[in-house]
A and B are shown apart, each in its own frame.
Chain A
Amino acid sequence: MRDPVKSRVAPWIFIAPAFCVIGVFFFVPVIAAFALSVTDFDIYAMADIANLRFTGLENYARLLSTPLFWQALGNTFYFVIVGVPLSIALSLGAALLLDSRLALFKPFFRTALFAPVVTTLVAVAVVWRYLFHTRYGMVNYALGQVGVGPVDWLGDPHWAMPTIILLAVWKNFGYNMIIFLASLQTIPAELYEAARIDGASPARQTFHITLPLLGPTLALVGIITTAGYFQLFAEPYVMTQGGPLHSTLSVLYFMYQEGFKWWNFGAASAVALMLFGLIAAVTALLMRASRRWIAP
C-alpha cells in the first residue's frame, strides 16, 4: 500500500529540478542585478573582486546625464510607439479577413501569413538588408518603376528606423493574428444575425459587435506586444549596428555594448533595471487605461 512519507516527499522531488534551475539561473541573477547596479563592477573587478566599489546611485546618475542613453531611449520609444499600433492593426485586419465567411483557402492563407513568425530573426534581417539595398534592392527598384528616386533605407538616419519597424511588423503580425482569430471565433454568430435583421451594416457590426467583444483580447495583446517591442535588439544589431548616427541604437543594444563590449557590468545592470522599470510603468499604465476604456 501507499507510503505516506514517500507521497509527501514525491511532489518536491518532482518540482526540485525545475525549481533549482529557475531559482539559480533566473531569480538569483535578477536579485544580483540590483546589487550589481549600485557598484562600479567592470573589467578590473572581473579580474580581481577587490577592485569592486559600492557607488550608490552613481551609475544611474551618470546614465541620465549621458546623451547617447537618452537617444537610445528616444529611439526605443519611436520603435514602440510606431511599431506596436502598426503591428496590432495589421494583425487585427488580417484576422478579420481570415474570419470572414467569404475568405477562400483559409488554412493556406493562415499558414502563409504566420510563416514569418517562426523564421529566424537574424536570417530575415539579412534578407531585409538586401531587399532594402540602396542600389540592388527590390524595394528601390519597385519604387523606381513608379518614379520614386532611390532611398538610402539603412544609410539615412531618417529611414533606418522605419525600415526596422517594417521588418518587425512583417515578422510579428502573424502571432497576434492567430490570437485575434481564436478570439473572433468565440463570438456567437447569432449576434451578427440579430444585427443584420436590425439592418446594421457590416461596418457597424464591426464597430459595435466585433471590436467591443474583442476588447479584452486587444488589451492583453497590446500589453504583451508593447513589453516585447521595448526589448528591441537583434534587428539593429544585424541590419545597422545601431547606426547611422546612432539612429537605431535601442536601450537593449546600449546595454549590450555597455556590458559586453566595454565590460561595465555595473552600468549595464543599471540600464537593464531602468528598462525594466520603464516596461513595468508602461504596462501598468496600459492596464489602467484598458480597465477604464474596455470596462466589461
Chain B
Amino acid sequence: MKRAFPAVFVNGALAVLTVAALFPLLWMASVSLMPAGTASTLPPPLFPSAPTLAHYQEVLLRAGLLRSLGNSLFLATVVTLCSLAFNTLAGYAFAKLEFAGRERVFRGLASSLLIPGQLALMPLFLMLKNMGLVNTYGGVIVPALASVFGIYLVRQYARTIPDELIEAARIDGAGEFRIFMAVILPLLRPVLASLAIFTFLASWNDFMWPLIVLADDKLQTLPVALASLSREHVQDNELMMAGSVLTVLPVLLLFLALQKHYISGLLAGSVKG
C-alpha cells in the first residue's frame, strides 16, 4: 500500500475526510455569526452576509451561559490541579517507593479500569447527598480528585527515572517529600503536561455526572446548560451555534496549543497498556 498508491487518490481521500471532519465545526462558527433567522432560509447560506456578534451577547448575558462558562472553567481547573497532585504522588510511589503489597494494591486499582463508572452512579449520588455535596461544586470535584488512569500514566513515566538519582538524594539526607518536590517533579514535567490537558478536557466535556449532581441552574457547567438551552430554543439556530462555539472553542484551542502532550498521553494510556 506504500508507494504505488497513486498520490492523487491518497491526498484526495484525505482532503475529503478532512472536509467531512471540519465542515460541521466551521459551519457552526459561520452560522453563529449570521443575523437571526438567516440560517433558516433555503438554500442554507455558507457565510454570514452581515456578520454579527449579537448571538454571543445574548447567549452569554441573557441566556446565562457566562455563568456556566465560569462554572466550567472553575471546575475543570480545580479538578485538574487537585487530581494532578493526588495522582502524581500516588503514581510516583507505585513506581519508585518500596512498600509491602505494592504490586498487589496497584493491580487491584488497575482492575477498576474494567468497570464502567455508571455502575457507581446511584450509590455515589446517595453518598454525596448524605454528605451534603449534591448541588454543590464539591459534588463534581470530590469524586474526580484522583483517577486510576492518571496514577497509571504517572507510574509508567516515573519508572524511567533512574533509581540512583533518588538514592543519591537520600544519601544527601533529603526526606522523601523533599526528594519528590525537588528531584522528581521537575523530571515528571512532560507527563504532568499530558495528564493536565487530558484531565482538563475530560472534565470540561463531561456531561452525565454534572447533569445528575448539579440540578441548580446557577451551578451548571456549559455542556449541561447548553443541553437544556437547546431544548428551549429549538428554532434559534444562530443562538444555539453561538452557544456551541463557546463550549467547543476553549478546549479546541487548548488542544491545538498542547497537541503534542495530548497525543503522547493518549498513546501512553492505550497502546502500551
A interface residue numbers (CB < 8 A to B): 1-2, 6-8, 10-12, 14-15, 17-19, 21-22, 24-30, 32-33, 36, 46, 93-94, 96-98, 100-104, 109, 111-116, 118-124, 126-131, 133, 135-138, 141, 170, 174-175, 178-179, 182-183, 192, 196, 201-203, 205-206, 210, 217, 220, 224, 227, 230-231, 233-234, 237-238, 241, 252, 255-256, 259-260, 265, 268-269, 272-273, 275-276, 279-280, 283
Report yes or no: B7 in contact with A102, Cβ–Cβ below 8 A: yes
Report yes or no: B40 in contact with A18, Cβ–Cβ below 8 A: no
Question: By DSSP majority rule, is chain B's interface helix, strand, loop, or mixed?
Answer: helix
Report yes or no: A126 in contact with B118, Cβ–Cβ below 8 A: no
- Chain A residues contacting B74 (CB-CB under 8 Å) are none
Report yes or no: B252 in contact with A115, Cβ–Cβ below 8 A: yes
Interface 1/0s, chain B 139-165, versus A by CB < 8 A?
000110111100100000000000000
- Chain B residues contacting A104 (CB-CB under 8 Å) are 7, 11
CB closest residue in chain A, given B266: A178
Report yes or no: B118 in contact with A275, Cβ–Cβ below 8 A: yes
Report yes or no: B17 in contact with A25, Cβ–Cβ below 8 A: no
CB distance from A156 to the nearest CB of B (A): 17
CB distance from A183 to the nearest CB of B (A): 7
CB closest residue in chain A, given B127: A29
Interface residues on B, range: 35 or more
A126 to B6, CA, bound (A): 38
A33's contact among B31, B120, B226, B256, by CB below 8 Å, is which?
A: B120
21 contacts between A and B (CB under 8 A): A14-B89, A15-B94, A27-B112, A29-B119, A102-B10, A113-B21, A118-B255, A119-B248, A123-B244, A123-B248, A126-B244, A127-B25, A129-B230, A131-B24, A233-B208, A237-B227, A252-B118, A255-B118, A255-B121, A256-B208, A256-B212
- Chain A residues contacting B24 (CB-CB under 8 Å) are 116, 124, 127-128, 131, 170
Confirm or deny: B204 has a beta carbon within 8 angstroms of a beta carbon on chain A: yes
Confirm or deny: B50 has a beta carbon within 8 angstroms of a beta carbon on chain A: no
- Chain B residues contacting A98 (CB-CB under 8 Å) are 14
Report yes or no: A201 in contact with B4, Cβ–Cβ below 8 A: yes
A183 to B145, CA, bound (A): 32
Report yes or no: A178 in contact with B18, Cβ–Cβ below 8 A: no
Report yes or no: B2 in contact with A119, Cβ–Cβ below 8 A: no
- Chain A residues contacting B208 (CB-CB under 8 Å) are 233-234, 256
With A18-B151, A109-B14, A217-B271 known as contacts, the answer to whether A272 contacts B121 (CB < 8 A) is yes
**A97, A265, A269 pick with most chain B CB within 10 angstroms:** A97
With A30-B119, A120-B222, A272-B118 known as contacts, the answer to whether A11 contacts B97 (CB < 8 A) is yes
A189 to B10, CA, bound (A): 19
- Chain B residues contacting A124 (CB-CB under 8 Å) are 24-25, 28, 244, 248
Residues in B43-58 with C-beta less than 8 Å from chain A: 43-44
Report yes or no: B122 in contact with A109, Cβ–Cβ below 8 A: no
A102 to B151, CA, bound (A): 40
A242 to B216, CA, bound (A): 24
CB distance from A290 to the nearest CB of B (A): 16
Report yes or no: A113 in contact with B2, Cβ–Cβ below 8 A: no
**A123, A141, A201 pick with most chain B CB within 10 angstroms:** A123
Interface 1/0s, chain B 104-147, versus A by CB < 8 A?
01000100101111111111111101000000000000110111
Report yes or no: A119 in contact with B207, Cβ–Cβ below 8 A: no
B31's contact among A102, A130, A183, by CB below 8 Å, is which?
A: A130
**A8, A30, A111, A126 pick with most chain B CB within 10 angstroms:** A126
- Chain B residues contacting A192 (CB-CB under 8 Å) are 2
